[in-house]
Structure 1
Amino acid sequence: MVQSPSPVVKLGAWGNDAGAAHDIDAAPHRLESIAIRWGKVIDSVAFTYTDKGGQLHTAGPWGGTGGEKEDTITLGPTEYVTQVAWSVGPFQLKEIEDCVTSLKFVTNRGATYGPFGRGDGVHHSLPVLDGGSLVGMFCRAGDYLHAISFYVRPLAVVKPASPAKPEGESLPTVATKG
């Protein structure tokens, strides 16, 4: 059996419809890095990814410039994100009913990045099974990340094609009674 990447799947959104919608221009193939600005909540997110042709693209930063901290995750050449966890809840300090309050990423290498943010509210988790990976994000953002969504590339199993018969060779025939 041969494994090959299948088409990208869009999942989400989790959060609310405040802020502006942000999405990427080219279909993502591999996530390269993630930059997160955060404090009590997620202020902004940015990332780099490659498309199927290997061209590097940058998305974001989407969101505001607040937050006390900024972290960048750079994935190794054979490292990819196999799980993402996040929470959505209120940011009472700014009287926001719902925004993304935390993000955490886990890779195939067993590395855990985060959680970034305080994590108030409802917790969510998205494991990407069977060799698939998280390859990008899209969101709604204003001064904060109001909603988060994900691009996932599942790994499809492709059945091998029937072997071709060599030239000049005939396939065996089976007699049937009719």
Structure 2
Amino acid sequence: MKKITMIIWSLIILICPLNTRADELPRLSSDCLEGMKNRDEEFNKAIMKDIITGFGLNIDHQHYIEVSDKDLEAAHLIYGGKEVDENYQSLHEQFIVASRGKPTLFIQPAEAYLLYKQPDNTNVAIHLKLSDLKWVVVGKKKEEGKAIHYKLLKCEKEYLQKKREFSNH
């Protein structure tokens, strides 16, 4: 019985060759990753410029500090990362939106604006005021914005093509 089992397994191994792959999954180069980072920053700047000019907001970098969701999270952790922190939570919940690009908070003492572009290119400006250690929405404006195009870099297109080819083999 053992001999028959060994013969059957030997035949299976010989008849069904193993599909081994020497190819490695394609990767993005560090230059491509840097290019993507720069493109994303320019894309977000273009979105913010469209929103600020569209609403006629008087936001400049001398009076307002530009804060991303990561910056807000870092500040929260630096100042103790308390579980119950109404100040942090009232700002953080504003970032939870569907958007093109990254929502951005422009803040000065006791006043802030959260700006973002919805997937349908609608520009949104949320006006916030600090009230008793909590940020409160005092106004929300929406208007149709310009379509800002997001272009894939050549290296990204090549990477995606190689990845598709890798997956199809």
Bigger proportion of residues as strand: 1
- How high is the TM-score relative to the length of structure 1? 0.26
Bigger proportion of residues as helix: 2
Structure with larger Rg: 2
- How high is the TM-score relative to the length of structure 2? 0.27
Higher relative contact order, chain-length normalized (CA < 8 Å, sep 6+)? 1
